[in-house]
Amino acid sequence: MDRITNQSASEEEYLKEFLEVRGKNFKRLMQNRSIIREDFEHRMKKLEVERDEELQRNYAQLQQLGMPEDQMPLPPENEEQRQRRIAHGKPRKLTETEIKRVLQELMEPKKLYTASQLIGFLQICYKDFSEFYQKHGHNNSAKNPPFLFGKNDFRWREYKLWEPSDVES
């Protein structure tokens, strides 16, 4: 009988020790996760600052070369300005020509994009995108050629840059 109580006591000690070691390992791993996340966030902020600086330089060089205003990309919006705008709950406001310039710059020909992808590129609200598409989509009644070609029904519609060969079947 003494042997059985000795064995159960050692098993309890072993279990207690195991749980203690496991708890310490969990705690250490969770700390490692937070360190990894902090490091990643720090690196991303540094990359965003470098990106903003490069975009500013590029924009200034384009201006110096005398690129026509209607072909110029949007002036870069640095992360601080973007955060301030988002904090105030304001979507980005772009003119129709600015929307066209951004989409021409970012969209690949013949590749289909969802509305959420395009809104993400533009950083505007859906309503502004919808109004733009109504004016510049392939089914508009304007005399100007369309800018975007929408494929499929409204909810599942995908968009691409319009080409003269785009004809609905």
Domain ranges across the chain: 1-90, 92-161
What gap in Å lies between CA 43 and CA 75, rounded to an integer?
A: 24
Q: Calculate the average pLDDT of the chain.
A: 80
> Percent of the chain beyond pLDDT 90?
21
CATH class of the 92-161 domain in this structure: mainly alpha
pLDDT at 30: 93
Q: Average of pLDDT values for 64-91?
A: 73
DSSP element (H, E) containing 158: strand 158-161
Best-predicted range by mean pLDDT (20-29, 61-70, 130-139, 140-149): 20-29
Top pLDDT among 168 and 72 is at 72
Query: Where are the extended beta strands (E) located within the chain?
Result: 113-114, 148-151, 158-161
In 3D space, the residue among 46, 49, 69, 45 whose CA is nearest the CA of residue 59 turns out to be 69
- pTM of the prediction? 0.52
164 pLDDT more than 70: no
DSSP element (H, E) containing 80: helix 79-87
Condensed to tens digits (0 to 9), the pLDDT of residues 107-127 reads 888 888 888 888 887 888 888
What gap in Å lies between CA 142 and CA 133, rounded to an integer?
A: 12
169 pLDDT more than 50: no
Sorting pLDDT into bands at 50, 70 and 90, what band is 91? low
140 pLDDT more than 60: no
Least confident of 43-47, 51-55, 88-92, 154-158: 88-92
> At a CB cut-off of 8 Å and minimum separation 6, what does 113 contact?
107, 158, 159, 160
What gap in Å lies between CA 78 and CA 95, rounded to an integer?
A: 19
Number of CB atoms found within 10 A of residue 91's CB: 16
